[in-house]
Structure 1
Amino acid sequence: MIDISSLPTLPQAAADSGEDVPVHFRLDDASPEAETGSAIGPLHRYRYERKMGDSELAYYLPSRQTGVNDMYLHLGFRAPERIVRRSRVCTVWAILRVRHPMLCARVEMNDLGDVGFIYDAPASPEDAYRDADVHLECRTQSKEELIDAHLNGSRTLSNSRLSYLIISEPPSAQAQLPTPPRTPSPTNRIIEDSFTSGGENGTEYRREYKFLLCTTHFVGDGMALHQFGDDFFALLAGGRPDNELECVLREEWHTRWRVPPGTLSQQRLVGGQTFPRQTHSERHSIITTVTFTTERTQTILRNCKAHGVSISAALFAICNLAWARMGVGGDKTAPTLMYSALNLRPYFSPECARPAPWDSYWYLALGYFHVVLPSFLSSDPALLERTFWLRARQAKEQSIRAARSPLAASRTHEMARERADRAREQGVWVASCSSTRHRSDANSPPKTSVLPQRAKVSSAAFIDLSMLGNLDGIYKHAGFPDAELHTLTTGSRQRHGAMLLLAYTFKDRLRIILGYDSNGFEGDVVNRFSPQAGPPSIFQIGLLNVGKLSEG
């Protein structure tokens, strides 16, 4: 529903640090009366409200205490100092927050059955800038310190802060790298007129910076996260002078807010293989990363293509065989069940594109699918390579079947409802309000399954895999020539005893990241499974030359 209310403009936000923060940010508007109100009266902030969907609720409820699933995106980059001035970064941050209202919304919860988003649209471009400034911080921390603070420190986000941006210049980044002069062009001449060169002979010095975006998972997914990263650097480092970016912010606000805009069952899923876990009062997340060279990445791609599978399918098989080779307890007759996120954005028809301000790509569009593979290995080592590629093809077939199923949309809705119900009843944090579901179901007749009775089996999942694919298809590096992205790390805060394996290609290099709670698993079982285990790593052997899996 939409509730239009009149609220005062936010006060000027104080600068966090740095001398480059303007005391008064002013966008030169061609029609000042339109903002002062002589024609339309006092400025109004339009309020929008909507109830959370089931998928959003399933992510929100467990996050309330410690920020479970809060996402982050780290990008390391080099750029001239003029590109990363706080005022310029804040303008770009404000532009994107105006485009994507979910980043600026807040959550209001009355009880477990009544949770919704509230968004107060900015009353002016200056208002949008001040709000962005409040949610921007400059630091001098390294990549490891930034990520560790997000994963293991106090929670960065909250019900009233669904996104937060950090720009950091580590102390070690003082070693500056000169870059050659840019090719002359009208745009470049404008920039050169606006800024003084920092080096000799027309060169500029590029410093090392870290970009860290923190968002809650219930406002979007990984695809939105990476699309945002590309959009951010296209604006920040695309060659536009500061005054042009300020015009973009004014135009975005005028376009969007100058005038208010108007029973599917999972019983067939059988698992049972799980890592031995232990109970610990504290959670401590650890991130291990394996990065392949460009040459090895190409070798892996050729190897997979020759056998008719993708890297994603191969990784399912690698995890399956790595676990089978470890031989850590459990019933070896039980299969290995792994699950992964299903990107639902391709299902949305381009013809259904919505006008501003409903054209944001920040929304949650995730389903889930499962891959079930056998847990045993052949006693004949010579068959190990054939077994690997067979299971990779099985993983590919199951993934395609899930993505192309005509019931994908219905199944996603049903799974979201089930996950929301579990979040209401079995959340990691006990809410101060009672569950409305118990009250509404008190007088309802018991539900009887129409499916035939089956013997109860374990549906425990072994590991969660997130296959992000080739992110170079999202980041258009040519679109921001003033910055060079060289590092990308992403993930989310995890619950106790959780484990997540991510894989993606960035800058033509394959990266595999394993994040897990180091206090949640027994002994060295995770270290033995880790992509960094070795030498040589079972992941590296499996992808580069699977036949060698029979050795050692």
Structure 2
Amino acid sequence: MAAVTSTPPSAQPLLAQDVLSPSSGVCFERKMGDTEASYFLPSRQTGVNDMYLHLGFRAEEHVVDPARVRAVWAILRLRHPLLAASVKMHEYDDIRFVYKAPASSRDLLQEADANLEYQTRGKDALIDTYLNGPRTLSNTRLSYLIVSQPTEDEAGSLTPPLTPPLETASNGAPAETRQYDLLICAMHFIGDGMALHQFANDFFTLLGSEKTTSELESQLESEWSERWANIDDDAQIIPSALEDNIPIKWSKLRGAAARIDFDMVQQKQIGGQSFPRRKHSERRTVVPTLSFPEDKTKAMLKKCKANGVSISAALFAVCGVAWARMGLGSKELPLLMYSALNLRSSFSANRQSLWDSYWFLAIGYFNVILPNFLPADKAQHEPIFWHRARQAKEQSTRAAKHPLLISRTHEMAKDRGSRARAWAKEDDDKEKGVWTPPTPPLDTTPAPKQPPREPVLPARVKASASALIGLSLLGNLDGVYKHAAFPSIQLHTLTTGSRQRHGAMLLFGYTFARKLWVSLGYDENGFSEGVVERFWSESVGVLEEFLG
């Protein structure tokens, strides 16, 4: 493993114009919403849910000059305040974002430099260190950027074969491109996957532009002046919380109805399948990743379209059939998988255009439930696979377009926030050595004078809601990355995920650079030996068999 290199001399702070804004030294604060708190509180100790996005690319060396990278990073940190904010926790229900107004463009360059690192390691080493090593982020560092130019030994087996030069040098000779790896690190409570990918596209658009480094630094100065020279007292610097972006006019009746609907939905979430686990003192996350060639990806997408589904819906069926073929779990109990909804299209709150950042949380949650059995006749497996893919599509569409989506999102946020606060307090008390298990309360309630009312919800036997696996289905990322906007940079590899808790697992599926990518991030120490490896092998086999 190569040593981390120090910041090159060309990236040292420049003598930029140092004109203080009227807001110099002023801090802006906002209290976290329930969804943000539900991601923040579990992250405090070991960085659970800290996100990363890796992108492998080729470019000429001058395009990735450290001073140029720093200028682009500073511009984007200016545009998106949560990237440069910090967190202060007062109480479990009073956790705040704190953003200090930048005093100058020079200040922004220095802060960007302090949150930027240059290395010489390859993709696998970068990701492994981020996932399993000491935590990179903290309450005073909500985002971080790592740029690596791996050595030939580290990069040789990981990068695609050399491609034709992107352009020619001034003397007509082919311009030499080099292999680079970019790792974007960010807390999950400041944004989601869509924010990460939109940010990466903006980063490469600026980095690959025809502007010189000096022109990018002048752009930084101009944007800083526009935002901070005459800041309004009521400017909304920090983006709103998820719950405030989808407001509801609550009443007692509407609140009661929303809670009843939410409870009834939760009662329907039945899942009886789960991977056999084992206890282990250390968590170790691995991310096996598979990509399919462009021609095969086209054929797979065409086959999905012919069967009336997207690749995302098909991946639910892939997991279901792979698990059924393993023969684990009861065939009578269904299989439950969970995923996330992009709620940006549901936002109704107005946001100021100058501070219209996309770095904020905008995700809801839904489950897909499928049967856990297959007939003995293998000839029937393919039609059953596509039928279950259509079931997954129907359930996903119903969740996304349900008229009560907003109220359900609010109720889920309340539940997640409440549970996270309770678990956080329990964890803190255990660490202090003052935690005691709760004791059942004594029944001192006097006998009612009238018979109790009938319950609102019908009586049901409590069923298991165990989830087998979570799926993060990002869709066609070539619709997010405008490759034509940065022709001097060739993106070829993308991997994403987060630091996980013990025994966690998440499957990723997306198309990027005209290829289908599938990866499985999981704690290899948290499951019975060989079971997840077998599931991954079965899943790849199902993909090849029914989509290949």
CA contact (8 A) 1:69 1:216 kept: yes
C-alpha separation in 1, matches of 2:335 and 2:425: 26
Say if 2:52 is the partner of 1:51. Answer: no
C-alpha separation in 1, matches of 2:350 and 2:467: 36
Counterparts of 1:46-445 in structure 2, within 5 Å, are 46-172=26-152, 179=165, 181=167, 201=172, 203-261=174-232, 262=234, 263=259, 264-265=262-263, 266-328=266-328, 330-348=329-347, 352-357=350-355, 359-427=356-424, 430-431=427-428
Greater shift in the superposed pair: 415-424 or 95-104: 415-424
Which structure 2 segments of 5+ residues have no match?
157-161, 235-258, 439-444, 446-452
CA contact (8 A) 1:62 1:428 kept: no
CA contact (8 A) 1:77 1:487 kept: yes
Say if 2:26 is the partner of 1:20. Answer: no
Moved over 4 A (4+): 173-178, 432-435
C-alpha separation in 1, matches of 2:82 and 2:342: 19
Give the number of aligned pairs. Answer: 493
Tell me the SS of whatever aligns to 1:430: helix
Give deviations 1:384-436, integer Å, cap 9, x for gaps: 1111111111100000000001111111111111111111122498226999x
C-alpha separation in 2, matches of 1:373 and 1:178: 46
| 2:495 alignment counterpart | 489
* Aligned-residue offset at 1:310: 0.8
Match of 2:544, as an amino acid? Q
| 1:472 alignment counterpart | 478
Cα distance change, pair 174–491 in 1 and its aligned pair in 2 (3 A): closer
C-alpha separation in 2, matches of 1:76 and 1:167: 10
539, 542, 545: which one aligns with 2:546: 542
* Aligned-residue offset at 1:331: 2.2
CA contact (8 A) 1:338 1:370 kept: yes
Cα distance change, pair 143–512 in 1 and its aligned pair in 2 (3 A): same
Match of 1:539, as an amino acid? L
CA contact (8 A) 2:20 2:103 kept: no
C-alpha separation in 2, matches of 1:468 and 1:178: 29
517, 527, 530: which one aligns with 1:521: 527
* Aligned-residue offset at 1:250: 1.1
C-alpha separation in 2, matches of 1:448 and 1:496: 42
Tell me the SS of whatever aligns to 2:418: helix
* Aligned-residue offset at 1:19: 2.6
C-alpha separation in 2, matches of 1:385 and 1:203: 49
* Aligned-residue offset at 1:275: 0.4
Match of 1:99, as an amino acid? R
TM (norm. structure 1) is 0.84
Give deviations 1:505-542, integer Å, cap 9, x for gaps: 00110000001000000121101100x459x7223223
Greater shift in the superposed pair: 393-402 or 251-260: 251-260
C-alpha separation in 1, matches of 2:373 and 2:67: 59
CA contact (8 A) 1:501 1:514 kept: yes
CA contact (8 A) 2:322 2:538 kept: no
CA contact (8 A) 2:52 2:498 kept: yes
C-alpha separation in 2, matches of 1:17 and 1:541: 49
C-alpha separation in 1, matches of 2:425 and 2:205: 39
Greater shift in the superposed pair: 77-86 or 100-109: 77-86
Cα distance change, pair 181–386 in 1 and its aligned pair in 2 (3 A): closer
Say if 2:472 is the partner of 1:463. Answer: no
Tell me the SS of whatever aligns to 1:129: helix
CA contact (8 A) 1:62 1:429 kept: no
Match of 2:184, as an amino acid? L
TM (norm. structure 2) is 0.85
* Aligned-residue offset at 1:348: 2.8
CA contact (8 A) 2:507 2:521 kept: yes
Match of 1:47, as an amino acid? C
| 1:441 alignment counterpart | none
Which structure 1 segments of 5+ residues have no match?
1-14, 183-196, 439-444, 545-552
* Aligned-residue offset at 1:86: 1.0
CA contact (8 A) 2:68 2:213 kept: yes
C-alpha separation in 2, matches of 1:146 and 1:135: 16
CA contact (8 A) 2:55 2:183 kept: yes
* Aligned-residue offset at 1:206: 1.3
C-alpha separation in 1, matches of 2:204 and 2:225: 23
Give deviations 1:470-495, integer Å, cap 9, x for gaps: 00001001111221111111111111
Cα distance change, pair 483–428 in 1 and its aligned pair in 2 (3 A): farther
* Aligned-residue offset at 1:353: 4.7
* Aligned-residue offset at 1:364: 0.3
C-alpha separation in 1, matches of 2:269 and 2:454: 20
Give deviations 1:263-302, integer Å, cap 9, x for gaps: 0221111111000011111000011111011111111111
Q: Percent identity?
A: 52
Match of 2:10, as an amino acid? D
CA contact (8 A) 2:20 2:104 kept: no
CA contact (8 A) 1:343 1:365 kept: yes
Give deviations 1:63-113, integer Å, cap 9, x for gaps: 111111111011111111111111110000000000000111111112211
Match of 1:542, as an amino acid? F
Match of 1:116, as an amino acid? R
Tell me the SS of whatever aligns to 1:504: strand
C-alpha separation in 1, matches of 2:454 and 2:195: 40
C-alpha separation in 2, matches of 1:124 and 1:305: 52
C-alpha separation in 2, matches of 1:360 and 1:380: 54
* Aligned-residue offset at 1:379: 2.9
Cα distance change, pair 131–327 in 1 and its aligned pair in 2 (3 A): same
Cα distance change, pair 420–96 in 1 and its aligned pair in 2 (3 A): same
C-alpha separation in 1, matches of 2:345 and 2:545: 33
* Aligned-residue offset at 1:174: 9.3
Tell me the SS of whatever aligns to 1:179: coil
Match of 1:431, as an amino acid? D
